[in-house]
Chains A and B, each alone.
Chain A
Amino acid sequence: MLSASLYIIVCSARNRMRVRLRRLREPRYLIGAIVGAAYIYFSFFARFRASGRSRRRLQASDWPESMAPLVALLPALGGVALLAGAAAAWLLPVDSGLLEFSDAELQFLFPAPVSRRQLLIHRMLRSQLGILFGALIIAVVSPPALGVSRLQLSVGAWMLMVTAKFYFTGVTLARARLRAGSDRVRRVAWLPVAVIFAAVAVVGSAIARDALRSTPQGPRDIALAIGRAAQSGPARVVLWPSAALVQPLFAAWPEPYFASLASALAVLAAVVGWVLLSDEAFQEAVVTVAERRSQEPSPQGGISYTVRSVGWTLAAVGRPETAFAWKAAQQTLRMVDRRSLARTVILLILLTMAAASMGRANGLASLLGAFSFAGTVFTIVLAPQILRIDLRQDLSHLELLKTWPIKASAVVRGELLWPGVVITATAWTMLAVATFLSATLLPRVSVGWRIGGGAALAIVAPSLVFSQLTIHNAVALMFPAWVPLGNQRPRGLDAMGQRLIMLGGTWLLLVISMLPGAIVGGIVWFAFKGFVGAAALVPAALVCSMIVGVEVLLATEAIGPAYERLDILAVERGE
């Protein structure tokens, strides 16, 4: 089986590379590859060469004095974070993806005379290429610090990622064993859960004791308290496995590094042993993973929909644009993506904590105001790129769309309608909060300017949003092969270069499209500001928004022929 596994891995990698190299014969991929390579060179290698000339790496002593104790505690802090992640893995519905066999693997390997353990080893081997690549990227993008070379960092990161992946697989297998009929099997399966949570209790109580003694003031003190607690008494003992995995990222060369590597290898070996010994639960775990995958009906995977009434029944007769908006509304309101929601909440909390710790906020009101304003700008500027419930997603249904007797410009307008409304409504909500709290955020600015500015931004927001959506959809129609469809994530240097070109082109087009409106709006502003002061922002914004709105309507008519000419074969499927 080992040779068959290696054969599959080598052939897959070779053929994927062949496909990527072969497509470089097409100018669009070649240009993308050149741009991608240039980006990587100038972003990383050129910078490293420049910094390498100093021939000196950062040492712990180079950090500011106030940060030095924190830097010294990084391995311990990393160990605590790993332990927390290991415990969270039991509570959250996460898995490593190691048991997600491809359809071909299910069809060819499962009926073959191959043991469950061999199948697990096959998947473990198969995952190595991706992990190695990830470790390499981490090493490349990380600036050399604390005297650790990129090779050391790369090996350490690989060790950490591979152990994490196998651990998550072990958790998935143990979950399956927890449902087993036999009491003995269930008791054995509970053992790692008990060990992990006992370790969490030990470390948690040590941290709590330290925190009560020192009463930390802010995130830095909290981090110091955690680090101190993790390095003392029983907490140090129970944290040894997770700290050992993190240690190679920080250990000095050569003896301490090799010693830490040996410890990390021992932990990895223990995790691999645990996973392989759990192979009796393999079949059930694979079935569970496959069932969950099958409940994700999206061809690109990852999104599941739940039928629920949204209180909007499509009338039998009316403009086609509304039908497209209705369709997109059903999709948005039926999308249940708890993972994204959890990620967003975590991100929001981290951002809030960062803002608070940086001392920029003065009280909850100003913090919320600043956050709402940042959210408004983020929504207007980036959401049209991120929210892809338009042609960028519906191109995967082009075969169906093309048969509909709808004018091309109406299709384009219909596709823009719902995402435009959603983004504008979100931006308006946040802008209303920011304007309401603007007195605490901008205490020196007069109320007239604050309200005038808020109103002007609210008026300009829809035109900015719709013009960006128009550009993104026009690009999708004119260069469909460069636009990832739905949840696709094209890989490779050429795909990265294509994305960079698209991003640059989109921003350039946005600036050009806003220019006429901005110029005329500016003239209106200069003409009226002497008479009405800040209130002149409102007519200036109105004029600007109207001009951009007309441009959007004209653009949807202009890109109609591109939709009619669009050949379904030009819309490439994922790699």
Chain B
Amino acid sequence: MALSVEHFGRTYAAATGTLTAVEDLSFSVASGEIVGLIGPNGAGKTTTLRSLAGILRPTSGRVSIDGHDIIEDPLEAKRRLAFMPDEPHLFEYLTVTEHLRLVARLYGVADVDSRAAALVDELELKGKEGSLPGELSRGMRQKVVIACGLVRRATTLLFDEPLTGLDPIGIRRMRNTIVARAHAGAAILLSSHLLHLVEEVCSRVIIMDRGRKVADGTFEELASRADLATAGSSLEQIFLRVTGHDAVR
């Protein structure tokens, strides 16, 4: 498995004591697979993605990328990983091209020029190569973050709300980009509140609620689950049922 998560948990120290953000989460993503990670606000999705990316340390459990543990062997694990966060964190003094060069240097991408040129085309960043992040719109900055993630040959891609700030054309192109990367053999974990996107591109979905996994499977598997059989066939109906919000109309 490209991405393997076993009994992962993460707690935070809060004013009222210890807050459990994620508890006993296990799943895996195979090469070429696109798995959707969905859940209501505060379900623990971003905590999970940040822990998988090595930003937060898991309090318990094990996370491995291509067999490399993110804690025991972080350099090898991170080398195979690309994390595209929902908030575009960029260096305000580096241009688009310079961001790509910096990332390429840190990940050892020798053919950065050709790869960067292709990505600039693919993500419609043409003409913005020499711009600073402060001169770009929110959507453009999101594209730069994604370009930085794709400029190296990562085997596992983590997307956290990748479509935030994109226009309809950008959304369509980004969807195609994600699918193309999966076809090329990457394992993709995609977190989004846009259930139609998840339904469209993901082959499997994991639903989280209050830090726990409440459902995991293909749409057919979920729809045929005994407790969800009456929920309906759409992902939205299934989501509302498993999170206990199906009374909401």
Residues of A within 8 A of B (CB): 22, 25, 295-299, 303-305, 307, 313-318, 320, 323, 326-327, 330-331, 334-335, 397-400, 402-407, 564-565, 567-569
In the complex, identify which listed stretch (B25-33, B106-114, B221-229) lies at the interface while the others stay far away. B106-114
B91–A403 touching, CB < 8 Å: no
The residues of B with any CB-CB pair to A shorter than 8 Å are 12, 15, 50, 53-57, 74-79, 81, 83, 85, 89, 91-95, 98, 101-102, 104-113, 130-135
Cβ B55 vs Cβ A399 within 8 A? yes
Contacts of A323 in B (CB 8 A): 102, 105-106
Residues of B within 8 A of A298 (CB): 92
> Are the CB atoms of A314 and B92 closer together than 8 Å?
no
- Which chain A positions have C-beta within 8 A of B109? 316
Contacting pair A403 B104 (CB below 8 A)? no
The docked-state distance in angstroms from the alpha carbon of A491 to that of B102 is 35
Contacts of A330 in B (CB 8 A): 93-94, 98
What are 28 of the A-B contact pairs (CB < 8 Å)? A22-B15, A295-B134, A297-B132, A304-B134, A305-B93, A305-B132, A307-B95, A307-B130, A313-B101, A314-B98, A314-B101, A316-B113, A317-B110, A323-B102, A327-B102, A330-B93, A330-B98, A331-B91, A331-B94, A335-B93, A400-B89, A404-B106, A405-B106, A406-B75, A406-B106, A407-B75, A568-B50, A569-B56
User: Is the Cβ of A403 less than 8 Å from the Cβ of B94?
Assistant: no
Interface centre among A327, A403, A568, A569, by most chain B C-beta atoms within 10 angstroms, is A403
Q: Which of B12, B75, B78, B105 contacts A569 (CB 8 A)?
A: B12
CB < 8 Å: which of A295, A315, A317, A402 contacts B53? A402
Chain A hits for B75, CB < 8 A: 405-407
> How far is B54's CA from A565's CA once the two chains are assembled, in angstroms?
11
A557 to chain B: closest CB distance in Å? Answer: 15
Q: Contact partner of A320 among B12, B106, B135, CB < 8 A? A: B106
Q: 13 extra interchain contacts, Cβ-Cβ under 8 A, other than A297-B134, A323-B105?
A: A297-B132, A303-B92, A304-B134, A305-B93, A314-B102, A316-B104, A320-B106, A323-B102, A330-B94, A331-B94, A335-B93, A403-B81, A406-B106
Residues of A within 8 A of B93 (CB): 305, 330-331, 334-335
Tell me the complex Cα distance, A314–B105, Å. 8
CB-nearest residue of chain A relative to B111?
A316
Contacts of B53 in A (CB 8 A): 402-403
> What 8 pairs across the A-B complex have the smallest Cβ distances?
A297-B134, A405-B78, A405-B79, A331-B93, A305-B93, A402-B55, A297-B92, A323-B105
Residues in A whose Cβ lies below 8 Å from that of B132: 297, 305, 307
Residue of B with least CB distance to A414? B106
Which residues of chain A come closer than 8 Å to B12, judged between CB atoms?
Answer: 569
Contact A320 B79 (CB under 8 A): no
Enumerate chain A residues within 8 angstroms of B101, measured Cβ to Cβ: 313-314, 316
Total contacts A-B at CB 8 Å: 96
Cβ of A405: which chain B residues have Cβ within 8 Å of it? 74-79, 106-107
How distant is B144 from chain A, measured CB to nearest CB, in Å?
12
Candidates A295, A297, A569; contact of B133 at CB < 8 Å? A297
Q: Which residues of B contact A398 (CB under 8 A)?
A: 55
B residues less than 8 Å from A299 (CB atoms): 92
Whether the Cβ atoms of B110 and A316 lie closer than 8 Å is: yes
**Chain A residues with Cβ under 8 A from B79's Cβ?**
405
A397 engages B108 (CB within 8 Å): no
Q: Inside 8 A of B55's CB, which chain A residues have their CB?
A: 398-399, 402-403, 568
Q: CA–CA, A403 to B85, complex, Å?
A: 11
B54 pairs with A402, CB closer than 8 A: yes
* Residue from A307, A318, A564 having most chain B Cβ neighbours under 10 A: A307
Q: How far is the CB of B56 from chain A (nearest CB, A)?
A: 6
Q: A405 to B107: give the CA distance in the assembly, Å.
A: 7
| Residue pair B105, A320 in contact (C-beta under 8 Å) | yes
By beta carbon, the residue of chain B nearest A332 is B93
The smallest C-beta distance from B14 to any residue of chain A, in angstroms, reads 11
Are the CB atoms of A567 and B57 closer together than 8 Å?
Answer: yes
A335 vs B106: C-alpha distance in the bound complex, in angstroms?
24
Chain B residues with Cβ below 8 Å from A303 are: 92
Q: Known: A305-B134, A314-B101, A405-B78. Contact between A397 and B56, CB under 8 A?
A: no
A451 CB → nearest B CB, Å? 40
Q: How far is the CB of A314 from chain B (nearest CB, A)?
A: 5
Query: Could you tell me the distance between the alpha carbons of A320 and B74 in the complex, rounded to whole angstroms?
Result: 16
Residue on B with the closest CB to A317? B110
Q: Which residues from chain A contact B77 at a C-beta distance below 8 Å?
A: 405
Q: In the bound complex, do residue B50 and residue A399 qualify as a contact, i.e. CB atoms below 8 Å apart?
A: yes
Which residues of the other chain, B, contact A564 by a CB distance below 8 angstroms? 74
Q: Which residues of chain A are within 8 angstroms of B74 by Cβ–Cβ distance?
A: 405, 564
Q: Which chain A residue shows the least CB distance to B133?
A: A297
Specify which chain B residues have a CB less than 8 angstroms from the CB of A326 in the assembled complex. Answer: 102
Contact of B85 among A304, A399, A404, A567 (CB under 8 A): A399
Q: How far is the CA of A399 from the CA of B106 in the complex (A)?
A: 15
Q: Are B92 and A327 in contact (CB under 8 A)?
A: no
Rounded to whole angstroms, the CA-CA distance of A567 and B111 in the bound complex is: 33
**Are B57 and A565 closer than 8 Å at their CB atoms?**
yes
A315–B98 CA distance with the chains assembled, in angstroms: 11
Given contacts A297-B134, A317-B110, A404-B106, contact A327 B94 (CB under 8 A): yes
Check A316 against B106 for contact (C-beta < 8 Å): no
**Smallest distance from the beta carbon of B16 to chain A beta carbons, Å?**
12
Cα separation A314 to B50 with both chains bound (whole Å): 28
Residues of chain B within 8 A (CB-CB) of A331 are 91, 93-94
Per a CB cutoff under 8 Å, which of A304, A397, A399 touches B91? A397
Closest chain-A Cβ to B238's Cβ sits at a distance in Å of 32
**Distance of A569 Cα from B56 Cα, bound (Å):** 8
Contact B130 A317 (CB under 8 A): no
List chain B residues, Cβ under 8 A from A315: 105
Which listed residue, B56, B95, B108, touches A317 by the CB 8 Å rule? Answer: B108
> Cβ of B78: which chain A residues have Cβ within 8 Å of it?
403-405
